[in-house]
Amino acid sequence: MNFQSVKPVRFLLAFIAFYFVAVPSFRLPQELERQALNIAWYQGLKEGTPNTQVFEDFIKDAQENLEKIVKDKLLIRDEVGLEKTIPKCNPQVKPPIISIRKNQKEAFFDCIRVADFDTESKTDYKKRSEQSKQDIVVRQFDQIVRGQGAELVSKKGEDVSLEYSRIFINNLTGDSNFLDRLPGFRIDTVYLFDEKNGVIALYPGTKEGVYNNGRRIDYRERPWYKSGISQYETVYLEDFSGDTSGLTGTFIDITDTFTPNAIRTLWYRFKDTNGNQYVLAFDMFFDETEPIFFSNSFLSFFWLSTLSEWIILVLIALPSSLILSLLYEELVKRLRNTDSFNNLSGIRFTLIKEYYATLNDENISFNDTNVTISLSSVQTSAGVTLSLQGTGMEGKIERTAQQNRQEEKAYSYSFDHEYSLKVGPVRPTHKAVQIWQAEREPHLGKSQIVGHVVADWKTNNTVSSSGELSIKSIFWNKKEEVYFPSFQRQLRDHLLTGETGELTLVPDTQYQKRQSIPALLSDIDPDKLETVPELKQVIDNSFDLDQGRFFVSQLETVETLYALGNVKAIYSIPFVRKIITKGKHDFFRTTAMDTDREERFVLEHEAHHFKNRVYNHLNQSIQDDWKNESPFQIMVHQRSATENVILEQEGFSLIYINNVLRFVLYSLSDDTYSGIGWVSWRKVDLEFFKTLYEYQRSKGNFVKTVKSYIEA
């Protein structure tokens, strides 16, 4: 296999795919283990059990650290740097939030709360509370916990449950990764119980406190107190030179009346030098509302926690990804050399350049310097010259012959051809020229240009569309040569019906287009269609729509189209004579609205053309009518004028609907029909005849009414 053929992007994608498959295989056993630990925490912890060793390690480390905290901090009698009074909570500031089983409580990390836990005492709570607040152990506790939670004070309104638990668990164990090993493990409350005064100092302080509906509290009934005197389930019991510590069984926290939360309390029972009894405690629980399977977030399931796991993953993933990439490249290479790949991958034509007849000079040149062309696959149409340029072309041809296989390389090529599109002073040879690109739709991240074709529309408006539209290839891949005639027909059908600038090709050598009714025709008023059988038949049967136009033989059809909007027209002398011959001379007057009467003209191609061929053949009454109210104006022939760009047979009408040009009615330059002409909605015709109209209006012909023309 050729390792150089592996593309970095594909290798990276293979690595990422392997990563998301492999990492869960690392994590799943861990998540199952954590689920077992979650169950063990609530249903039974026993010392020496392998499945619960992580808890045993945690409790043992925490107990040893609690001994140091008590002896080195809480029992220090030095008041230097110690505040004289315990700060009060500031209820005016929006505090952070702690979430417990989706229930939230506001937590004041800048203070502790001192609550009465001896409601049976005969001494007033306020007095006992003040005595406790002056106790140096309580004040040391206040300073320690507020110092540890100081960074949380500023997080107003934020949920700090995880950060709060991480800070205190890290201080208990010295293990900053413990919560990563047990996601969902949380601390609820930290507190110090002063047995002498029967009060408890809780951190963080909460807005609600510990009282609920006047409930009376006796510390002698609390599990953490009874556990310390061997009257409640206790595990991991330790003795530290008279001080004791342990972990209670599960119980419902006193503050969780509405949403019971089963917790365990890690307690440390000690005395000061005066023999006063204290209990330092931490309420802990698992937050089961956050599925342990997804840890702290969904993405954490795809993250490894140890360096050894990462090393193993990389050692497996790198060679596996390389092998997958090589297999992929080989498979794609073989598929591309098969007909099945060509047939399965769609080819789409896209219009990339278009030029229409214009009043300005237009030189058409098409260049593409970023197309991959195999020299053995270039196919061009007769009469089209393709110029290839690129370094090493001869060498490429030689290598192709030696290796007997197709080699590809990006060559620049250019297509230059002159087309006559300028309207005036002579008639242009083309209405429009379009460049279309055939491209295989992206397959496995790569697209391929199959070829380019040029479609040119000639101005000789003939009955047969074959003489009007020509489609030739600039270059075409020989692999697709068998389909090219079919693709030509498909593009021709697409262009003739005036559809959009994209076409998805059908790889069918027997392709035949099924005609459809254009939206423009289907929108015509149905009531008017009932009175025009010919137009209704065209729309219902779609017999004449395959060229994007239909033939009109009855004047009523023209009147219906005229009635759709405003009309600008240049009538030919033969067209006017045809209308008069049919006895429909009133057509010009009845269809000409006051707003567009000045936009209708009869074009002369020789001196006295209108008078000799039209006016003199009218009866006296019609002559008088036309002189009194001219139905159109006459563009008078001038000997010094340049040749007309509009042919003698070529009259046309531009039909605007809501001020948008939608149809053009025109007669053919080789028209031998007795009918009226052709109606088209193709853009190429709309643009061409609109440009002819603008040029003829700007040419400078004298424009006269019938009366001024006859009397001149």
Same domain, 240 and 287: yes
Question: Is residue 55 within 8 Å of 77, Cβ to Cβ?
Answer: no
16: confidence class by pLDDT, cuts 50, 70, 90: low
The confidence score (pLDDT) of residue 466 equals 60
Q: State how far the alpha carbon of 592 is from the alpha carbons of 66, 246, 561, 579, in Å.
A: 104, 105, 13, 15
For residues 227 and 238, what is the distance between their CA atoms, to the nearest angstrom? 12
For residues 389 and 371, what is the distance between their CA atoms, to the nearest angstrom? 12
> Which are the contacts of 572, defined by CB distance < 8 A and separation ≥ 6?
602, 603, 646, 647, 648, 649, 650, 651, 667
Question: Is residue 98 within 8 Å of 164, Cβ to Cβ?
Answer: yes
Tokens 């009282």: give the residue: 211
Q: State how far the alpha carbon of 20 is from the alpha carbons of 30, 295, 303, 400, in Å.
A: 16, 16, 10, 42
Same domain, 295 and 311: no
- Tens digits of residue pLDDT in 376-395: 444 444 444 444 433 322 22
Q: How far separated are the first and last CA of the chain, in Å rounded?
A: 91
363: confidence class by pLDDT, cuts 50, 70, 90: low
Same domain, 269 and 396: no
Mean pLDDT along residues 240-264: 79
The confidence score (pLDDT) of residue 294 equals 41
Tell me whether residue 30 is in a domain: no
The confidence score (pLDDT) of residue 282 equals 95
The confidence score (pLDDT) of residue 23 equals 61
Same domain, 399 and 523: no
Same domain, 491 and 535: no
Phi, psi (rounded to 5 degrees) for 261:
-130, 115
Same domain, 596 and 654: yes
266: confidence class by pLDDT, cuts 50, 70, 90: very high
Assessment of whether the complete model's pTM goes beyond 0.75? no
The confidence score (pLDDT) of residue 532 equals 54
Same domain, 493 and 627: no
For residues 628 and 708, what is the distance between their CA atoms, to the nearest angstrom? 10
Same domain, 158 and 245: yes
For residues 712 and 709, what is the distance between their CA atoms, to the nearest angstrom? 5
Bridge partners of 351, per DSSP, are 436
Tell me whether residue 38 is in a domain: no
Tell me whether residue 631 is in a domain: yes
Helix/strand/coil (H, E, C) string of 292-328?
HHHCCCCHHHHCCCCHHHHHHHHHHHHHHHHHHHHHH
Provide, for the chain, the percentages of residues in helix, strand and coil under a 3-state DSSP scheme, each rounded to the nearest 5: 40, 25, 35
Q: How many domains does the chain have?
A: 4
Same domain, 85 and 212: yes
145: confidence class by pLDDT, cuts 50, 70, 90: very high
Residue 672's identity, in one-letter code, is: T
The confidence score (pLDDT) of residue 288 equals 60
Tell me whether residue 196 is in a domain: yes
For residues 237 and 56, what is the distance between their CA atoms, to the nearest angstrom? 11
Name the strand (E) or helix (H) holding 458: strand 446-458
Residue 401 has pLDDT above 50, yes or no: no
> Which are the contacts of 381, defined by CB distance < 8 A and separation ≥ 6?
472, 473, 476
The confidence score (pLDDT) of residue 408 equals 42
523: confidence class by pLDDT, cuts 50, 70, 90: low
Tell me whether residue 625 is in a domain: yes
Q: State how far the alpha carbon of 298 is from the alpha carbons of 29, 164, 165, 288, 488, in Å.
A: 17, 21, 20, 15, 53
Residue 358 has pLDDT above 50, yes or no: yes
Same domain, 105 and 237: yes
b/e code 161-199 from CB counts within 10 Å (16+ = b): bbebbbbbbeebbeeeebbeebbbbbbbbbbbbbbebbb
Name the strand (E) or helix (H) holding 370: strand 365-373
Tell me whether residue 207 is in a domain: yes
| CA-wise closest residue to 490 among 476, 504, 469 | 504
Tell me whether residue 513 is in a domain: no
The better pLDDT of the pair 667, 63 is held by 63
Q: What count of other Cβ atoms lies within 10 Å of the Cβ of residue 423? A: 22
- Tens digits of residue pLDDT in 575-584: 888 888 878 8
The confidence score (pLDDT) of residue 193 equals 94
CA dihedral 244→248→252→256, nearest 10 degrees, is 50
The confidence score (pLDDT) of residue 265 equals 93
The better pLDDT of the pair 665, 208 is held by 665
110: tokens are 């800048």
Tokens 């240009």: give the residue: 449
Same domain, 139 and 19: no
Phi, psi (rounded to 5 degrees) for 230:
65, 35
Mean pLDDT along residues 413-425: 72
Residue 190 has pLDDT above 90, yes or no: yes
The confidence score (pLDDT) of residue 428 equals 83
Residue 519 has pLDDT above 60, yes or no: no
For residue 428, say if its preceding peptide bond is cis, omega within 30 degrees of 0: no
* Helices then strands, each counted (H, E), the chain: 21, 28
Pairing type for strands 633-636 and 185-194 reads: unpaired
The confidence score (pLDDT) of residue 276 equals 93
CATH number of the domain bearing residue 607: 3.30.870
On the 0-12 / 13-18 / 19+ scale of CB atoms within 10 A, 491 is buried
Tell me whether residue 40 is in a domain: no
Structural domain that includes position 670: 519-711
Same domain, 85 and 142: yes
545: confidence class by pLDDT, cuts 50, 70, 90: low
> Which are the contacts of 358, defined by CB distance < 8 A and separation ≥ 6?
421, 422, 423, 691
Question: Is residue 603 within 8 Å of 571, Cβ to Cβ?
Answer: yes
The confidence score (pLDDT) of residue 144 equals 92
For residues 329 and 351, what is the distance between their CA atoms, to the nearest angstrom? 32
For residues 469 and 668, what is the distance between their CA atoms, to the nearest angstrom? 15
Q: State how far the alpha carbon of 380 is from the alpha carbons of 146, 335, 376, 386, 484, in Å.
A: 84, 26, 12, 7, 11
For residues 116 and 127, what is the distance between their CA atoms, to the nearest angstrom? 11
- Tens digits of residue pLDDT in 436-486: 888 877 655 566 778 888 888 888 766 555 667 888 877 777 777 777 888
Q: What count of other Cβ atoms lies within 10 Å of the Cβ of residue 28? A: 12
Question: Is residue 453 within 8 Å of 474, Cβ to Cβ?
Answer: yes
Q: Among 115-119, 168-172, 666-670, which range has the highest average pLDDT?
A: 168-172
